[in-house]
Structure 1
Amino acid sequence: MKLSTMLVAGLIGLAGNGAMADEQSCATVKMADPGWSDIAATNAITGVLLDGMGYKAKVDTLAVPIAYGGLKDGQVDVFLGNWMPAQQGFYDKFVKTGDVTQYNKNLEGTEFTLAVPDYVWDAGIHDFADLQKQADKFGKKIYGIGSGAPANLSLQEIIKKNEFGLGDWKLVESSEQAMLSEVSRAVKKKAFITFLGWTPHPMNVQLKMHYLTGGEAYFGASGSVYTLTRKGYAQACPNVGKLLTNLSFTQEMENGIMAEVVNKKITNADAAKAYMKANPAVLEKWLDGVKTLDGQDALAAVKAKL
């Protein structure tokens, strides 16, 4: 072999080893979960795929402001729950400034606003402006989710500005599960209650509920969910970056996985695996152009793990 050929071969080998070393440093993917059922489902899908590819998903439960701060500081790699326009304030503070990178749209056609049970709707509560008309029946309370959540911040702004005459109402902040437990108790007694609702979520199947109009300036008429990464992540970890580019979900998919978790009392990971087994075509889309950690075909590897 000529010396020049040997040098070229050596350089290619070194480049390949360097690329492999870079990818090995990406073997653990740090993800955030605000404690929402929908993000638990999409994190589980991603985790199953990463596991089949030889990676490990490390999911930490973090409030939304902490998740954004973690992305900015490099402590979090990926967040699949950038709900827009509900998180516009966080987008402006972190994404628009270039501190956090907004990746692809992973879900569209979402709803995220105040909701009421069917009997409250039948009593004439169809719009934000209708709430004050029967304020005493609601105890002047709006039930939200965890403290610091963007939707809660929007509701606090509505109260602060006395929008829709809600200036003397109180926002009750709690976890998603605690909020829905409060709703369930109210429904059993046919008591008036208004709460944050969104799609996709099992609540849309478990509860007879309706979404109120009027809050579009704060929540949008319809929204989308985007994937976020820490700055430079896709360049540092291009194989996982390619997977994230491919990842998109549907309302039916997420609702189905979440319903399996609730109805069959199984883990999100098991529900995600069951979905993939029943819908193998989605794997071809998600894993197109994606490799395992050691450079093999990801599609074959993930199918083998299922």
Structure 2
Amino acid sequence: MSILKIGMTAALLGAVALPAMAQDPDTCSTVRYSDPGWSDIAATNGVAAVVLKALGYTPDIATLSVPVGYEALKNGETDLFLGNWLPAQKPFRDDLDATGDIQELVQNLEGAKFTLAVNKAGADLGVADFADLDQHRDAFDGKIFGIEPGAPANQLIQGMIDNDDFGLADWELVESSEQAMVAQVTRNGDTPTLFLAWAPHPMNEAIETTYLSGGDAQFGPDFGGATVHTVARNEWVEACPNVAKLFSQMVFDVPMENVLMGKILNDGLEAEDAARDYLSENPDAASAWLEGVTTLDGQPAQPALEAALNG
């Protein structure tokens, strides 16, 4: 393949340039990636698992916190990660990039956001900006509901408390998990509640949520506007070009992830079952992901996925 053609292919894909229709060796049959316990990453990991199995690969998904997951990727214990949120996880990403052993395969989601938010009862107090919070401390019981310990978002919140940003020095970060936090906000009902919120997530449908302005320095502009990226080990990309090509083309959108996460959180489906349902209901969703990709044994990918979904 000529250098010009490689460059044109990379530009068209918006990802790494990988040989078309490159069959992987059997050593690539197991694909290792991690899940930090977030429903959005569980949803995309589930989609990846369904597609991988249809193509003859075996997904091996480890449940690891964000810091541990990045160390696993750095140390070669996993092959890739679909949940590199930027800018929130920039320190982790910078650390990976500094090794020279990791590359970005694709930006797999745009239009995401995350920052602090209040429920309807909080908004009814007139709270719409970070600067409004401290005058209503007692109404919120001085609590900020976050997610799991060690999460970059929690670190941002704790940093605000430690620095007395917006007068929050006497507030408390309540760490738990994504599911527990959403359940707590739901239980609080008409009690003013301050919590970490993000999109995509079904919480935006279930809870009347007001994202707070004024947190640009902490969470970034546009209410913590974010993108999500897939990163992988260079060695794995080079050794397994076919499956790496799949992941370099696997991109999602907010409406898709909202549906997937709703199936998991609201309908009680396992992530792979939710993904299988979604792909069966939206048969064209994976077409672009599979262009130039084969099964592990070198057969066309699209018919293999269709057969798996219809089987």
- TM beyond 0.5: yes
Partner SS, residue 137 of structure 1: coil
Look up the match of 1:240.
243
> Which letter does structure 1 place at the counterpart of 2:278?
Y
Count residues in correspondence.
285
2:280 counterpart letter in structure 1: K
CA contact (8 A) 1:290 1:297 kept: yes
2 CA distance for matches of 1:102 and 1:96? Answer: 13
2:192 counterpart of 1:184: no
Following the alignment from structure 1 to structure 2, what is the Cα–Cα distance between the partners of residues 214 and 196? 15
Structure 1 runs of 4+ with >4 Å offset: none
Aligned partner of 1:111 in structure 2 is: 113
Partners of 1:198 and 1:263 in 2: CA distance: 17
Amino acid of the structure 1 residue aligned with 2:154: N
Unaligned runs of 5+ in 1: 1-18
TM-score, normalising length: structure 1: 0.89
Query: Could you tell me whether the CA contact under 8 Å between 1:41 and 1:268 is conserved in 2?
Result: yes
Tell me the CA shift for residue 119 of structure 1: 2.1
Counterpart pick for 1:25 among 24, 27, 32: 27
Q: Aligned to 1:264, what secondary structure does the other structure show?
A: coil
- Whole-angstrom CA distance in 1 between matches of 2:168 and 2:102: 34
Q: Which residue of 1 aligns with 2:131?
A: 129
Aligned to 2:67: 65
CA deviation vs aligned residue, 1:184-208 (integer Å, no higher than 9, x gap): 1211xx1121111110111111111
Matched, 1:76 2:78: yes
3-state SS of 2:286 partner: helix
1:222-261 equivalence runs, <5 A: 222-261=225-264
How many percent of aligned residue pairs carry the same amino acid? 48
CA distance in 1 between counterparts of 2:276 and 2:96 reads 33
CA distance in 1, matches of 2:169, 2:99: 32
The structure with the largest helix share of the pair is: 1
In structure 2, the residue matched to 1:54 is: 56
Q: How high is the TM-score relative to the length of structure 2?
A: 0.88
DSSP-derived class of the 2:228 partner: strand
Aligned to 2:15: none
Residues 23 and 239 in structure 1, CA contact (< 8 A), matched pair in contact too: no
| d(CA) in 2 for partners of 1:254, 1:204 | 12
**Counterpart in the other structure of 1:199:** 199
Q: Contact 1:28–1:55 (CA<8 Å) still a contact in 2?
A: yes
Task: Give, in whole Å, the separation in 2 of the partners of 1:208 and 1:65.
Answer: 31
For 1:178 and 1:97, locate their aligned partners in 2 and report how far apart those are by CA, in whole Å: 35
5+ unaligned residues in a row in structure 2: which ranges? 1-21
Q: Which has the larger radius of gyration?
A: 1
For residues 23 and 219 of structure 1, do their structure 2 counterparts lie closer, same or farther at Cα, with a shift above 3 Å needed?
farther
Q: Distance in 1 between matches of 2:98 and 2:301?
A: 33
